[in-house]
Structure 1
Amino acid sequence: MSITPEQVPGSSFTSPDASTLDFQDQDGSRGTTIIEEPEKSIRNFGGEEEDEKRDVELAVAAQPVSVPAPLDDGPPDGGYGWVVAVCQFFINFATWGYASAYGVFLSFYRETNFFPGATDIEFALIGGLLLSVAFLTSPLSNFLSKTYGFRIPMSVGVVIFTLGQIFAGLSTKIWQLFLTQGVMFGLGVGLVYMPTLPVLTQWFNKRRGLANGLASGGAGAGALVISILTRNNIQKLSLKWAFIINGLIAFALLTPSVLLMKTRVHATGAKFEPLQPRWLWHKGYAFVLLWFFFSVLGYIIAIYSVATYATAGLGLSQTLAANIQAITCGFQIIGRPGVGLSLDRFGRINGGSGATLIAGLSCLLIWIFADSYGLLIFFSVIQGLTGGTLFATCGSITAEVVGVKHIGSAMAIMWLVGVLPSTFAEPIGLALVDYSTNHLGWTGRKAFEISICFSGGSFIVAAIVLMGAKRHVQGNWNMLTKA
């Protein structure tokens, strides 16, 4: 670019390169102005106003351009993320581990008539209430996390969860058990667990399935330990002290886990969003919600009824029934990380659907024919490896369909969808057993056949409907495509 002295009266200009502008005034002083993208020519300027305008424009052009930094789209796939995974492992241990061990309490309540006048359906409803209140808490915990940060609802949840178990140990009437082991326990689980759901996915991408599987394996580990510990404490101490000891252990595990948990909200753009019903009719996510609904329906019946089947169906002792419960839950320690690893290898939807299908077939092909302790153990192993994996896969599948940014609000809807099946699954299962006994005259393990078929059928329906989400993600029905 060059500017002749005639173009600007009283000044002379030279342009040695395309990024500088040299000038010389009449008094002989010289200077250089740096510009970002000089024009090929500059029009005539005349008068002081044009000179001032030109100086302002050149000064503005010389300013550095501020470009917003893009969001970090690369999770570290490790580092402190593994600390977060360990924290979530112990959170699952002390929340869902206790919830999964409810079958031990249910079997004890039914066999001993510990609360006189209470019915089997009422005891089943307590287990369902525990889960449904936890699911219902999701919008509240999401709101509190958005407003005050995730540690506030988690800390409150730890206190409620601990007190719920202590007060349950002091309960002498069934309505007190509804409030403590049902409502308080569920509220504590929801406030502690729900805020952590989006966190782990923010730390992992390629290893997301494995990380979620390892973390959710805490539920299996917790159920294994708590099932055995609870049964031993009930026998050697009392129901009261079994509850109190469980509460103190939970407090000791949850407190450091809450303190060490960290998010990457600012780096990923993930949000603690308010409840958004739009996910109910999302073309792909609606299939995920249906999968979750039917999976919960099948899982609750299987996990809560297996100990009762051992005692009422096969005539085994309470100790052996507790062992069956522990085996079912214990193999989730292997199953959840294993299925999580398969999600990364074969696709998140493929892995989730496959595990759900196997869980259903284990009910229809193994459990219904289990007429011995050994065969029931075999069923417990297969069910443990696959049945509870819906909690290991739901986060990864949700992220696959709606994206990490919206996982919080999408999963809040998922937990609400889980309220009905979690509340009524076990009452439905026991009602089917009662119907078989009172109306069909079936006894022993045969009285459980309709309930077992209902559980297995629910799993299989869930596996099939999840293929709709696969169709949405990949755009076709090719079952061999990784998705």
Structure 2
Amino acid sequence: MKSTLKDDVSVTSCDVSTSNAFTNEENNSNISRCQPQSNSDEPTVPDGRWGWVVTFASFMHNFLVDGLTYSFGIFFNAFLEHFGESKGKTQMLGSVISGYYLLIGPLVSILERRYKCRKTAIVGSVIASLGLFLSTFSPNLNVMVLLYGIVGGTGFGLLYGPCILIVSYYFNKRRALATGIAVCGSGIGGFVFAPLSATLLEVYGWKGALWIISAIVLNGVVFAALYRPIQHEPVQRTEPNTQPKFPKGDNKLKSLCALLCSYSSGTSRLFSPAFFVHLVSCFLVSAGFYIPFNFLPTFALDKGISAFEGAFLISIIGIFNTIFRVVIGVVSDRSWLDCFHVNGFVLIVGGVATFLIPYYTSFGVLAAYSAVFGSTIGVFVPLRSIILIELRGVNNLSTGFGLLTMCIGASVMIGSPVAGLLSDMTGDLDVTFYLSGSTITLGGILCLPLRRILRWEQKKQERRTLESTKL
């Protein structure tokens, strides 16, 4: 679908109405398995022009959000020493900020519909920067978790949701490529922030380092200003008896409640066996996702590897994360590639490699592992939303992405603290990697049958349509 984006496009909508959209693979063999068919109800998108400016802004927001969260392991020992708490409790800092910005996904989806991507992301940048700055004045770890984790995580959530959704709204045929480029900011962020954090930590201490990083995060306001929404006529769908009646004049209350009702109605239409399996798979993978980021630098120190080399392991993850996000963005638009199987097999390889970390004793082997794990992330992250679109259609992206990120956020908040608790109980870090490797591998295994489940759902839907036509 082709159209042009005019320069005088008005600020209207990042809205996406909720409708069910299945792809028909048998009748459209020339269309990529990872690129869903367009639905006639979906808005026309420009596939380029200002979309590439939006992609760059999204890239920078991913750079800021994941660059900081991926580098938490660099600060872990400093936080451990300053607050004097256990490893499990100290890990809550990293897990809360990493998980909370995903956990509030449904709330962000509602706010994004009401206030659009640009305003939501601007407010998120300000809140995240403020939370990071104020956290340096925390008298204890509990206050630090509140300011660094909850306040900072809320800001990152308001920033992250729009930066992913806006790219999908601007592209259709090249959606996978644009998404791959945008989320490359995550890998570049990990590559840059790891050595930057190590240097700032050494020169200014953890408080001074966070002051500087909070100022860097504030630049997200500038990039959010580039989120110029697309002008289109939103699809109106009336749901009988789903919206309550209000007294005249209560416009704001009416608007908010109508939005909540619409979101609730859209959520109920999302669930299907394939979507549920995808949620469980992402939950398991995410439980182990941040454990290598948070514990690998400390594990390297225990093996006699320098702090700089430990930080460089995170940078290696970032390099390969970036490379494979570009690769998957290019090849996932091809008709011969099945994103379900690719996602599953790559996760299994990454999970097994993570499970074996305790047997890696040299920097060279750990560097090789970092390359494998970075490649795994580079495939998994962009395919999450692409798989979601194929399962439930682009019209359901906003609602579905909110639920998916909430599920992932809850998992992330559990994973690292549980790993830290197990490490405190056993006295070593090996168990943390056993946990991470097991959950990532199991998540990959669950992803493999998704194609068969989706075909079964499509055939079931076709039978229902045929029966209703006969009636």
Question: TM tier, shorter chain?
Answer: 0.7 to 0.9
Q: Tell me the distance in 1 between the aligned counterparts of 2:42 and 2:200.
A: 49
For residue 74 of structure 1, report the CA deviation from its aligned partner: 5.5
State the match for 1:290 in structure 2. Answer: 280
Retained in 2: the 8 A contact 1:89–1:215?
yes
Q: Tell me the distance in 1 between the aligned counterparts of 2:354 and 2:348.
A: 10
Given candidates 131, 142, 147, the residue that maps to 2:114 is 147
Retained in 2: the 8 A contact 1:134–1:187?
yes
Q: Tell me the distance in 2 between the aligned counterparts of 1:415 and 1:232.
A: 32
For residue 244 of structure 1, report the CA deviation from its aligned partner: 1.1
Q: How does 1:91-102 map to 2 (within 5 A)?
A: 91-102=61-72
Given candidates 74, 81, 93, the residue that maps to 2:51 is 81
Q: How does 1:103-114 map to 2 (within 5 A)?
A: 103-110=73-80, 113-114=81-82
One-letter amino acid of the counterpart of residue 464, structure 1: I
Q: Tell me the distance in 2 between the aligned counterparts of 1:281 and 1:468.
A: 17
Given candidates 384, 387, 399, the residue that maps to 1:397 is 387
Q: How does 1:318-337 map to 2 (within 5 A)?
A: 318-337=307-326
Q: Tell me the distance in 2 between the aligned counterparts of 1:474 and 1:283.
A: 11
Moved more, 211-220 or 342-351: 342-351
For residue 353 of structure 1, report the CA deviation from its aligned partner: 2.0
One-letter amino acid of the counterpart of residue 322, structure 2: I
Q: How does 1:373-392 map to 2 (within 5 A)?
A: 373-387=363-377, 389-392=379-382
Secondary structure at 1:260's aligned position in 2? coil
Quick one: structure 1 residues 213 and 247, their matched pair in 2 at CA, closer, same or farther if it must change by over 3 Å?
same
Q: Tell me the distance in 2 between the aligned counterparts of 1:216 and 1:453.
A: 28
Q: Tell me the distance in 2 between the aligned counterparts of 1:133 and 1:451.
A: 21
Is structure 2 residue 447 aligned with structure 1 residue 463?
no
Is structure 2 residue 373 aligned with structure 1 residue 406?
no
Larger radius of gyration: 1
Retained in 1: the 8 A contact 2:290–2:412?
yes
Retained in 2: the 8 A contact 1:280–1:413?
no
Quick one: structure 1 residues 280 and 368, their matched pair in 2 at CA, closer, same or farther if it must change by over 3 Å?
farther
State the match for 1:358 in structure 2. Answer: 349
Retained in 1: the 8 A contact 2:120–2:158?
yes
Quick one: structure 1 residues 128 and 265, their matched pair in 2 at CA, closer, same or farther if it must change by over 3 Å?
farther
Q: Tell me the distance in 1 between the aligned counterparts of 2:183 and 2:189.
A: 10
Q: Tell me the distance in 2 between the aligned counterparts of 1:347 and 1:146.
A: 32
Secondary structure at 1:202's aligned position in 2? helix
Given candidates 205, 222, 230, the residue that maps to 2:172 is 205
Secondary structure at 2:85's aligned position in 1? coil
State the match for 1:126 in structure 2. Answer: 93
Length-normalised TM-score, structure 2: 0.78
For residue 360 of structure 1, report the CA deviation from its aligned partner: 1.1
For residue 320 of structure 1, report the CA deviation from its aligned partner: 2.2
Retained in 1: the 8 A contact 2:323–2:378?
no
Q: Tell me the distance in 1 between the aligned counterparts of 2:231 and 2:434.
A: 43
Is structure 2 residue 306 aligned with structure 1 residue 317?
yes
* Stretches (4+) displaced over 6 A: none
For residue 330 of structure 1, report the CA deviation from its aligned partner: 3.1
One-letter amino acid of the counterpart of residue 273, structure 2: K
One-letter amino acid of the counterpart of residue 99, structure 1: T
RMSD: 2.4
Secondary structure at 1:315's aligned position in 2? coil
For residue 248 of structure 1, report the CA deviation from its aligned partner: 1.1
Quick one: structure 1 residues 75 and 472, their matched pair in 2 at CA, closer, same or farther if it must change by over 3 Å?
farther
Secondary structure at 1:319's aligned position in 2? helix
Q: Tell me the distance in 2 between the aligned counterparts of 1:132 and 1:270.
A: 34
Q: How does 1:182-221 map to 2 (within 5 A)?
A: 182-221=149-188
Secondary structure at 2:82's aligned position in 1? coil
Q: Tell me the distance in 1 between the aligned counterparts of 2:178 and 2:103.
A: 26
Q: Tell me the distance in 1 between the aligned counterparts of 2:429 and 2:332.
A: 33
State the match for 1:370 in structure 2. Answer: 360
| Pairs aligned (count) | 393
Q: Tell me the distance in 1 between the aligned counterparts of 2:236 and 2:179.
A: 17
For residue 239 of structure 1, report the CA deviation from its aligned partner: 1.5
Percent sequence identity over aligned pairs: 24
Q: Tell me the distance in 1 between the aligned counterparts of 2:118 and 2:44.
A: 25
For residue 388 of structure 1, report the CA deviation from its aligned partner: 5.1
Q: How does 1:230-309 map to 2 (within 5 A)?
A: 230-252=197-219, 254-264=220-230, 266=232, 269=235, 274-275=263-264, 276-278=266-268, 281-309=271-299
Retained in 2: the 8 A contact 1:343–1:352?
no
Retained in 1: the 8 A contact 2:320–2:375?
yes
Q: Tell me the distance in 1 between the aligned counterparts of 2:304 and 2:43.
A: 56
Quick one: structure 1 residues 373 and 417, their matched pair in 2 at CA, closer, same or farther if it must change by over 3 Å?
same
Q: Tell me the distance in 2 between the aligned counterparts of 1:393 and 1:263.
A: 24
- Structure 1 stretches lacking a partner, 5+ long: 1-69, 438-446, 477-483
One-letter amino acid of the counterpart of residue 466, structure 1: C
Retained in 2: the 8 A contact 1:98–1:223?
yes
One-letter amino acid of the counterpart of residue 181, structure 1: Y
